Structure 1
Amino acid sequence: MKKKTKQYRSPVMASIHETAEGLHAAGLMSKLTMRKFDEMWLTPIPRLKARQIRDLRLREGASQAVFARYLNVTTGIISQWERGEKQPRGTSLKLLALVARNGLDAVA
Structure 2
Amino acid sequence: MSRRMKRMVEEAKELHAIGVMSDTDFNEIKRLAKQAEINDRIAAVKAMSGEEIKALRVRWGMSQSVLAHTLGMSKESVSKWERNEIKPSGPALRILNTLASKGPEVFVS
Please give the TM-score of this superposition, normalised by the length of structure 1: 0.67
SS in structure 2 opposite 1:44?
coil
RMSD over aligned CA atoms reads: 3.3
Question: What is the distance in 2 between the residues matched to 1:19 and 1:89?
Answer: 35
Q: Cα distance 1:40–1:61, how it changes in 2: closer, same or farther (>3 A)? A: same
Partner of 1:102: 102
Q: Percent identity?
A: 26
Question: What is the distance in 2 between the residues matched to 1:68 and 1:57?
Answer: 10
Question: What is the distance in 2 between the residues matched to 1:71 and 1:55?
Answer: 16
Question: What is the distance in 1 between the residues matched to 2:7 and 2:71?
Answer: 35
Unpaired segments of 5 or more residues in structure 2? 13-24
Q: Which has the larger radius of gyration?
A: 2
Aligned length in residues: 91
Partner of 1:19: 6
As a proportion of its length, which structure holds more helix? 2
Please give the TM-score of this superposition, normalised by the length of structure 2: 0.66
Unpaired segments of 5 or more residues in structure 1? 1-12
